[in-house]
Amino acid sequence: MRSYFGMLHPRKNRWPLFGVTCVLMGLSGCGSEPGDAPAHLPRDGNPQVAALLEPIARQHGIPALAGAVVTGAGLQAAAAVGFRKWGETAPVTVDDRWHLGSDTKAMAAVLVARQVEAGKLRWDTPVAELFPDLASEFHPEARAVTVEQLLMHRAGVAPNLDWAPYARAKDGDVRHQRLDATRRALAKRPSHPPGSHYVYSNLGYVVCGALLERVTGQAWEQLIEQDLFRPLGMLEVGQGGMGTVGKLDQPWGHTASGKPVRGYGPDQDNPRVLGPAGRAHASLASWALFIADQLRGARGAPALLQPGTYARLHQRPPGGEYALGWLVVSREWGGGLVLSHAGCNTMHYAVAWVAPKKDFAVLICANQGDDRAAKATDEAAAALIKWHTETSETE
């Protein structure tokens, strides 16, 4: 069984906008040379956006790239270029679904925020208070870990567990798996005093999923559908891998070597226990609905949450850059602070750049998960930012 337990792990900027590295388990060859690409890739969607994406996909040997420009009013332009799978002729379309990986974390933060607004949680609620039945098994120093610290990767929780046993457990309630992960995460002494240091942790977001399940009585998979997807009208969404087994109806994943992965369909992803850390997929149009809501909320316009809640989600922490589900950095093209996140499950790659002060965002997706995909999506994001900025200035 091939392992796909890698997720986003931010590192220092190597690329023009934002660099990440996939944590690969069971895969090798990250950063290999691009393979040969056809002279011209099939295109769909906005012709100007497609013309920007196509040469970048060819240069880096990426099977497919998709990109979108979003404002608070919604999706403004989108295109997709390339093939759903190397070696096949099926082209990607602008309506295809793309794996978002750890871009799911911004969604997890919104779901926590909804419970805070409902009075069922506080940002400073200690996790031990939510799990009195497990608290005796928590390390004494871990009992003080708060909800906000988990979302900011400042809880001292390990980056990951060995997820393989969870992947092999085909039966049973995934909520029990998240409870088990929570117990194991907090049984150990924090790597640093909670709140003091940033250490990116997928495990911390699994704990967030477990605490949401505890306070709502609903599984993560139902909660994100009920409290996020439906209210925002996100219809072309799901959890896990895309596509129908036996068909080539969505983008197929590709490894660091550029070769198609063996499997396809809903089970071709990280284990279900990792849902809150990064298993969502969506079409560009549906992802754009979430991003547009973030833009509106940041500007104080009517949105899913209260304006003060968006300010809390997007607030850059003292001495750090990771807020609540978003990296917050300063970029001149964005008029100051902008939001960003990237996601990679080692088979797919997605990145978002959100500029609230300029009321626009760009979204880029690829059906390959390696450093080549990181470079290609970064270059594509830069191209769309430049295109949108110049287009806006001439209107």
Write down the pLDDT at residue 172: 72
For the chain, the domains span 8-102+252-271+282-394, 107-221
Cα-Cα-Cα-Cα dihedral of 301, 303, 309, 313, to 10°?
Answer: -100
Write down the pLDDT at residue 22: 35
Give every residue of the chain whose pLDDT is below 50, as ranges. Answer: 1-34
Write down the pLDDT at residue 37: 65
* CB of 50 closer than 8 Å to CB of 56: no
Structure-token pair, residue 224: 């994100």
| Amino acid letter, 363 | L
Write down the pLDDT at residue 257: 77
Write down the pLDDT at residue 23: 29
DSSP-assigned letters across all residues of 240-286: S--S-TTS--SPPPB-TTSPBPS--STTSSS-GGGHHHH-EEEEHHH
Which CATH number applies to 8-102+252-271+282-394: 3.10.420.10, 3.20.20.70, 1.10.645.10, 3.40.710.10? 3.40.710.10
Q: Which residue has the tokens 């196509």?
A: 54
CB atoms within 10 A of CB 293: 24
Write down the pLDDT at residue 14: 31
Q: What angle do CA 356, 360, 364 make, to 5 degrees?
A: 115
Q: What would the pLDDT profile of 286-317 be if each residue is shown by its tens digit?
A: 999 999 999 999 999 999 999 999 999 999 99
Write down the pLDDT at residue 107: 98
Write down the pLDDT at residue 393: 79
Write down the pLDDT at residue 170: 67
* CB of 49 closer than 8 Å to CB of 67: yes
Write down the pLDDT at residue 145: 98
Write down the pLDDT at residue 146: 98
Write down the pLDDT at residue 10: 41
Q: What share of the chain is helix, strand, coil (3-state, %, to 5)?
A: 40, 20, 45
Write down the pLDDT at residue 39: 67
Write down the pLDDT at residue 394: 78
**Domains 8-102+252-271+282-394 and 107-221 equal at CATH topology level:** yes
CATH class given for the domain over 107-221: alpha beta
Q: What is the pTM of this model?
A: 0.92
Residue 373 backbone phi and psi in degrees, to 5: -65, -40
The region that residue 325 occupies, defined by phi over 0 for left and psi between -120 and 50 for alpha, beta otherwise, is: left
